[in-house]
Amino acid sequence: MKRRTGKRLNGWGIAVLLLFAMLLVNIPLILTAINSFRPTSDILHGSTLFPENVSFDNYRVVTEATDYWLWFRNSIVIALITTAITLVAASFAGYSMSRYHTKVNSVYSATLMVFQLFPIVLSVIALFILFRKLGLMNTPVPAVVLYVVMSLPFCTWISKGFFDSIPRELEEAARIDGASSFQAMVRIVVPLAGPGAAAVAIFAFLQSYNEYMVASAFLQKPSARTIPIGLREFIQQYHTDWGQMLAASTLAALPPLIMFLLVQKWMIRGMAAGAVKG
């Protein structure tokens, strides 16, 4: 009895410690959010840790008097297209690598690590010149292409690991019952692919929504900007207005956070399956 209570207290002790650590880790975001509700004058002259006057002014200015929603729309469009393409490409490739051990796949699998280490700068240099010539600057095209490629190696790895964890026997059973490979894949594997798909999707979405460098290289026109570029704009132009900067930051952090919270259970399960089996 005593040992049991002891263990329970031990568990709670660790949990409380970890809770404190977790809040500490998230201080940058917490401070950003809290201070976004203070007028800038307060932020500059008062203490950073304890807000006095609460105001929504910063948010009002950001949402009404800046291009925030334009940047948001651009970011979401690019992110959604990237996620869709990556999901399809990575799932197909991952499934193929998991089930069919052909020469193409073994080469591709071995070189996956090579693709992973490719410095994105090298891609940007050549594609910058190419897309300029093709007149595709300030369109979603360069960004989507690069973001998909940046996500593919890791997403394919996760996807393959995940498919490895789905027993082949299920598809074999379906084939004995007369289904073709394709039908077996669609009817058996796809319904089970939730966690793997969630992991791939969230990773691709984060990669494209959060990314700064590629966006800044290819989307220079004000009408084409995404959120990271727009936020940086704030620092340059309104560099004294921390209040608005923090409000914009808080707003910008919400979509990825919300998406992550929605799919996190699946995503972690998908990543875990990939990590263990892969």
Partner 1 sequence: MAEQVTSADRQAGRPGGRQAGAPGGPQTGRQSGSQVGRGSGRRSGSGVGRRPGSGFGRRPGSGSRSAGDMQTRRDRWLSINLALPSILLLGVAQLYPLFQGILYSFQKGKTTRPSQAWVGFDKYAQLFADPDFWKAVRFSIVFAIGGVVLSYLLGLVLALLLVRDIPMRGFLRVGFIVPWVIPPIVGMTAWRWMLQDERGAVNQVLNWFGVDTIFFFNDPKWTAVAAIVVKAWRSFPFMLVSLMATLQALDPVLDEAAAIDGAGRWKGFWHITFPQILPMSSILWVLMTIWSVNDYETPYLLTNNSANARNLMIFSFDEAIYRDLGKGSASAVVTLIVLGILAFFMLRLQKKASDLQ
List Cα–Cα distances, 164 to 42, 60, 151, 159, 168, in angstroms: 56, 50, 20, 9, 8
CA 29 remoteness from chain centre:
17
The amino acid present at 90, given as its one-letter code, is: A
Select 16 or 54, whichever has its Cβ closest to partner 1.
16
Closer residue to partner 1, CB minimum distance, 18 or 190: 18
C-beta closer to partner 1: residue 57 or 233:
233
| Nearer of residues 1 and 114 to partner 1, judged by Cβ | 114
DSSP 218: H
Q: How far is the CB of 50 from partner 1 (least distance, A)?
A: 11
Q: Return the number of other C-beta atoms located less than 10 Å from residue 126's C-beta.
A: 9
Length of the chain: 278
Contacts of residue 76, Cβ cutoff 8 Å, sequence gap at least 6: 209, 255
> First vs last Cα of the chain: how many Å apart?
42
Min dist CB 87 to partner 1, Å, is 11
Q: Which is nearer to partner 1, 69 or 260 (CB)?
A: 260
In contact, 195 and 165? CB cutoff 8 Å:
no
CB of 30 to partner 1, least distance (A): 9
For residue 203, give both structure tokens.
């990773």
Minimum distance, C-beta of residue 251 to partner 1, in the bound complex (Å): 9
Whole-number minimum distance, CB 1 to partner 1, in Å?
Answer: 19
Cα angle 90, 91, 92 (rounded to 5 degrees) comes to 95
Q: How far is the CB of 54 from partner 1 (least distance, A)?
A: 19
Which pair of structure tokens corresponds to residue 129? 């010149």
Closer residue to partner 1 (CB): 7 or 60: 7
DSSP letters for 44-61: HHS-SSS--S---HHHHH
Residue 63 CB, shortest distance to partner 1, in Å, is 17
Q: Nearer Cβ to partner 1, position 61 or 179?
A: 179
Cα(130)–Cα(133) distance, rounded to whole angstroms?
A: 5
Side-chain-side CA neighbours of 9 within 13 Å: the count stands at 6
